[in-house]
Structure 1
Amino acid sequence: MRCLKSINTERRDEFNRLFLKGILVWLAAVCICFLTQHLIYPDQLTNDYQLASFLGIILIYPIHKLLHILGCFKYREGTVIQWRIHFFFLPCIKLNIKRIIPKWHYIFSLILPFVIITTILIVLMLLTPIGHSGMFLILLSVHFGMSFSDFTHIKKLWKMPKNCFIESAERGFSVLISD
């Protein structure tokens, strides 16, 4: 196999840029969620279910990362989970898979948390009155902002050849094709 392209996801300010863009997506999603809530259900925004929504905000990041791990569970041998602190207080989990993964399995592991968590949150919003809680709408928006970096990586991989493979590199990942 030979390396078609190396994608550096850790170059200077890469995390900061993705984090800032994720916050902007989160703010846009907050605006859209609250406007949609107000247009569809005027005067029904409540402060109920704040504790449940706050616990959801705290737990959504570990659940999101766990679903990434489950998405590539078949390739778990040699997987390294690292903790890093960003901005002096923000704990972040980094997942390094030391095996070569087919492109579509890697994309599946990137998109799995978005699909599952969004489905659960929308079903909860439609079937229970928790959808009228402001904190719940913030939880949904935080999830959209958190998934932004996954979609950025998917966009980088989407135009690569169909039968390529992904390998974790020291500062990102490499796209491999067979000779």
Structure 2
Amino acid sequence: MHCWKTLNIKSEYRITRLVLYSVIIFVLVFSFSFVFVNINRPIQYEEGNFLLFLLILLLIYPLHKIIHYYSLFSYRKSVKLKWKLELKFIPIVHIRIKKMIPKKRYMFILITPFIVLNILLLSAAILLPQYSHYACILLGYHCSICLVDILFFINLVNAPKNAVIEETPKGYEILIPPEKFKNF
């Protein structure tokens, strides 16, 4: 196998830029989803269930990681979970896969939490209009969490079809078979 490209989003974009992009995504997604969901709907918003909103806000990140984990299907036995504190106070879960994974499968793993949770949150915003402000805040928050996954996904779109993904200490390596390498 030959390395086609090595991806390390944190070193490529730096943490401060990723945080800035996440905040911008949060504001844009919240603004547009709130306007879209509530257009032509005269609604009284309810302030009740704020504790439930906070609980869901705290659970979105673990749910996101659980969906990643369960979308691995047959690769779950070669997965290692690791907790780490980012910026000394933000708990982050790292899912490390010890096997090489085909490109299409890895893209599926990356995009699954984005699709599943965003559909649930948009459905809640539409079906429960009195709580749509909460659902739109959660949608914006989840989209900002998905930023790194989306950046990886975008980088994988242009990778060769037969590529496989391997995690290394340097980042993610996109590997291609030797016969494919001759064509580049």
Distance in 2, matches of 1:12 and 1:156, equals: 12
Alpha-carbon distance in structure 1 between the residues aligned to 2:10 and 2:29: 26
SS of 2:11 mapped into structure 1: coil
Residues 130 and 73 from structure 1, CA distance in 2 versus in 1: closer, same or farther, beyond 3 angstroms? farther
Taking the aligned partners of 1:159 and 1:103, their CA distance within structure 2 comes to 10
Structure 2 SS opposite 1:44: coil
CA–CA distance in 1 between the matches of 2:36 and 2:49?
A: 19
Paired residue total: 178
Aligned-residue CA RMSD (Å): 1.9
Deviation of 1:79 after TM superposition, in Å, equals: 1.5
Give the deviation of 1:37 after TM superposition.
Answer: 4.4
Q: Deviations over 1:60-93 (max 9, x none)?
A: 0000011111111311233121111112211111
TM-score (norm 1): 0.89
Give the 5 Å matches for 1:99-138.
Answer: 99-129=99-129, 131-132=131-132, 134-138=133-137
Provide the rounded CA distance (Å) in 2 between the counterparts of 1:17 and 1:37: 30
Q: Where do 1:85-96 residues align within 5 Å? A: 85-96=85-96
Partners of 2:108 and 2:59 in 1: how far apart? Answer: 22
**Amino acid in the other structure paired with 2:69:** I
Uncovered stretches (5+) of structure 2, i.e. residues with no partner = 179-184
* Residue matched to 1:82: 82
Structure 1 residue ranges without an equivalent (≥5):
none
Identity of aligned residues (%): 30
Q: Contact 1:168 / 1:174 at 8 angstroms: preserved in 2?
A: yes
The answer for the alignment partner of 2:52 in structure 1 is 52
* TM-score (ref. length: structure 2): 0.87
**8 A Cα contact 1:10 1:171, kept in partner:** no
